[in-house]
Amino acid sequence: MGRKFFVGGNWKCNGTEDQVKKIVDTLNGAEIASPDVVDVVVSPPFVFLTSAKSSLRPEIQVAAQNCWVKKGGAFTGEVSAEMLASLNIPWVILGHSERRALLNESNEFVGEKVAYALSQGLKVIACVGETLEQREAGHTMTVVAEQTKAIEDKVSNWTDVVLAYEPVWAIGTGKVATPAQAQEVHKELREWLAKNVSAEVAETTRIIYGGSVTGASCNELAAQPDVDGFLVGGASLKPEFVNIINAATVKKNA
């Protein structure tokens, strides 16, 4: 059984109510690959999550972009995993590099968040990735292995985890990783999982690529054996997101 292709659209802190409606209308009217071959998950900002969920066609799921590390309580401004679960929000993105860099989320904190979200029944898109400086110093695999280990340390079941490799230098820069660069890290991450978790988790866990993916670059990336889908930022706000979803058919025929 192959790994089902997975395409996430991370809308980040973008969109007004009208813009969200337009994106939803575009997705609802588009010809997209069957849910048998691709999981599609879009991630609007919190305030639009429930309206997007109820207006999107049923085969497109939603993800929150973050949640609190533990049970909710006196944590002003935070949203807890149990709140998301109570609204039947199935997915949450955790450990995005923007939160690691701008909000100082450490590897350990991200690991704790992933474990807590899973314990509340959410599925997690967990992000890892190196900076340009780390890549140029030859530390890419050490960095992503440390980030992944901090998750593995807290998590006992990987079934509901999708791992997103998002090199920081490729995010929002227009500098997409080459298919060979993406494949190299995905393959090494899969080997890391085989060695440090289990052969089964390595074989079944989807490892998706994020960083300046566009309609033009998606097919070649999708053809790489260890690229199981994408986490898309900027292009997920545009009609070309449909082409990226449909890269799943390239994968299927590869």
Ligand X SMILES: O=C(CO)COP(=O)(O)O
The active-site residue, picked from 82, 152, 166, 186, is: 166
Q: Does 213 bind ligand X (CB under 6 A)?
A: yes
- Asked whether position 65 contacts ligand X by CB under 6 A, the answer is no
Determine if 147 is a binding residue for ligand X (CB under 6 A): no
Helix axes 107-119 and 140-152, enclosed angle (nearest 10): 40
Is residue 232 part of the contact set for ligand X (CB under 6 A)? yes
Find the helix packing angle between 46-55 and 17-29, rounded to 10°.
Answer: 30
The catalytically annotated residue of 96, 98, 105, 130 is 96
Q: Is 211 in the site for ligand X (CB under 6 A)?
A: yes
96 is catalytic: yes
Q: Are 61 and 23 in contact (CB under 8 A)?
A: no
By CB under 6 A, the residues from 151 to 190 that bind ligand X are 166, 171-172
Q: Which residues pair with 94 in a beta bridge?
A: 126
Q: Which of 210, 224, 226, 244 binds ligand X (CB under 6 A)?
A: 210
Contacts from 193-198 at CB under 8 Å and sequence distance 24+?
193/148, 193/158, 196/149, 196/152, 197/152, 197/158
Phi, psi of 89 (to 5 degrees): -80, 115
Is 105 a known active-site residue?
no
Least separation in angstroms between residue 1's CB and ligand X is 27
Stretch that binds ligand X, among 19-27, 134-142, 190-198, 205-213 (CB under 6 A): 205-213
Task: Name the nearest CA neighbour of 210 among 242, 240, 173.
Answer: 173
Does residue 231 belong to the site contacting ligand X (CB under 6 A)? yes
DSSP code string of 133-198: HHHHTT-HHHHHHHHHHHHHTT-S--TTEEEEE--GGGTTTS-PPPHHHHHHHHHHHHHHHHHHT-
Binding pattern for the stretch 94-133 against ligand X, x by CB under 6 A and - elsewhere:
--x-------------------------------------
Q: Which stretch binds ligand X (CB under 6 A): 103-111, 181-189, 204-212, 240-248?
A: 204-212
Catalytic site positions: 96, 166
Residues forming contacts to ligand X in the complex (CB under 6 A) are 10, 96, 166, 171-172, 210-213, 231-235
